[in-house]
Amino acid sequence: MSYFSDIYKGIKTLLTGMSVTGKYFLNSRKGAITQQYPDNRATLKMFDRFRGEVIMPHDENNEHACTGCQKCEIACPNGTIEIIWDRGIDEDTGKKKKKIDQFVYHLSMCTMCALCIDVCPTDAIIWGQNFENSVYDRTKLTRVLNEPGSKVRAGIED
């Protein structure tokens, strides 16, 4: 008698499947996952884990968190990050102290592996959400992440 139960089960599962897709069909107006990209540029929000490019956030005093420890430069598998550093005098202690002059980031070589961001002890660099990275001149892909005149935030090394 498995013949008839097979037919019953077959029809039942087919109807279950059709009800699932039918629900999708009815809800497609609200729940469309398609992004109409160039039109919704203003409202488009990328997801949190999206890896667009490496950026270095600066606060309102034009201060960043990079101490120039060069861990990211060592961690990078393909030489994307180049830190040009300098020695300056620490005002508090009067001792010589390492500071970054230019944090150079070659976006054209970056594979978005996130090793630099994982390794950064002070969270100075994070993922940016920008993905429109095409330019007409590839030298524009070499970026200096720290803004001119910025300095390291006090107390970040403690």
- Segment near other proteins (CB under 8 A); pick from 31-39, 77-85, 135-143, 150-158: 31-39
Asked whether the beta carbons of 65 and 152 are under 8 A apart, the reply is yes
Q: Does 36 bind other proteins (CB under 8 A)?
A: yes
Q: Does 14 bind other proteins (CB under 8 A)?
A: yes
CB of 24 to other proteins, least distance (A): 6
Query: Which amino acid appears at position 75 of this protein?
Result: A
Number of residues that bind other proteins (CB under 8 A): 16
Q: Which residues of 108-132 are buried (b: 16+ CB within 10 A; e: fewer)?
A: eebeeeebbbeebeeebbebbeeee
Q: Does 7 bind other proteins (CB under 8 A)?
A: yes
Of the residues 5, 32, 79, 91, which one makes contact with other proteins according to CB under 8 A: 32
Q: Does 25 bind other proteins (CB under 8 A)?
A: yes
CB of 28 to other proteins, least distance (A): 4
Of the residues 1, 2, 5, 33, which one makes contact with other proteins according to CB under 8 A: 33
CB of 19 to other proteins, least distance (A): 9
Distance CA 119, CA 36 (A): 36
The pair of structure tokens assigned to 50 is 């999206």
* 57 Cβ neighbours under 8 A, 6+ residues apart: 64, 65, 126
First to last CA, the chain: 77
**Sites of contact with other proteins (CB under 8 A):** 7, 14, 17-18, 20-22, 24-25, 27-28, 31-34, 36
